[in-house]
Amino acid sequence: MLRLHSHPFSTFGRRVEIALIEKNVPYERVEIDLAGRQHKTPEYKAINPYSRVPTLEDHGFYLYESSAILQYLEAEHPEPALTPADNKGRAKVDMHLRLCDGQMAGPAGVIIFQKRFFPEAKWNLDSIAKASKDIAAHLEIVNQALEGQDYLVNDRYTLADIAYIPFLHFLPLMVDPATVPANVAKWSAQLLARPSSQQTIPAK
């Protein structure tokens, strides 16, 4: 059975769990105690030298970086398909995965980490304001990609949408909900309502 080394609060781990659930792939969760710094131990570094979660273990094969894990799962478990069959569609999924990681994950992390795990008195408001502005600018572009369709690529649910779900969950912490562009608001509500999203809601 596949093993997913992760933590229940991990946004990147949640992406992978959602894909595993959508694909009906059985897996065992191995909880890495981030607060206890288990990810910094030599044992964990042996499977992920960057000391981050998630790490997927497939019978002695270890893979980290959640976007790469999503694409590996797609290749190993092609049904139900979470990428389109055509090259253009596949390339677009890859493009959106990279853009989610490159444009969204950084500023989202700045806000989410502080607001989830630190008391308000310790928040760095300047860094939060800057990150919020960057996210708002990115969401305007995502909004254009969603024009005329319910999902990012070929109007069907793909890995590109899954990559965003853990961040969309925290959208109200990141930007003023009244300013979320209409297509993004609809897309987000639809994605968060899926059973795989509901089953993976973090406790905090």
Ligand X SMILES: N[C@@H](CCC(=O)N[C@@H](CS)C(=O)NCC(=O)O)C(=O)O
Residues that bind ligand X (CB under 6 A): 10-12, 34, 39, 51-54, 64-67
| Residue 42 C-beta: closest distance to ligand X, Å | 15
| Residue 59 C-beta: closest distance to ligand X, Å | 20
| Residue 68 C-beta: closest distance to ligand X, Å | 8
| Residue 11 C-beta: closest distance to ligand X, Å | 5
CB atoms within 10 A of CB 160: 26
- The residue among 100 and 183 lying less far from ligand X, judged by its C-beta, is 100
Separate counts of helices (H) and strands (E) for the chain = 10, 4
Say if residues 140 and 157 touch (Cβ distance below 8 Å). Answer: no
Place of tokens 């899926």: 194
| Residue 114 C-beta: closest distance to ligand X, Å | 14
For the purposes of burial, counting CB atoms within 10 Å of the CB of 13, is it exposed (0-12), middle (13-18) or buried (19 or more)? Answer: buried
Place of tokens 């979660």: 53
Q: Using the 8-state DSSP alphabet, how is residue 156 labeled?
A: B
- The residue among 19 and 183 lying less far from ligand X, judged by its C-beta, is 19
Give residues with Cβ within 8 angstroms of 37, minimum separation 6.
Answer: none
- The residue among 163 and 183 lying less far from ligand X, judged by its C-beta, is 163
Residue with the closest Cβ to ligand X?
52
- The residue among 13 and 84 lying less far from ligand X, judged by its C-beta, is 13
- The residue among 6 and 154 lying less far from ligand X, judged by its C-beta, is 6
- The residue among 39 and 96 lying less far from ligand X, judged by its C-beta, is 39
Task: Tell me the residue length of the chain.
Answer: 204
- The CA distance from 73 to 199, in Å, is 19
Q: Which residues pair with 56 in a beta bridge?
A: 4, 63
Q: Which residues pair with 42 in a beta bridge?
A: none
| Residue 101 C-beta: closest distance to ligand X, Å | 6
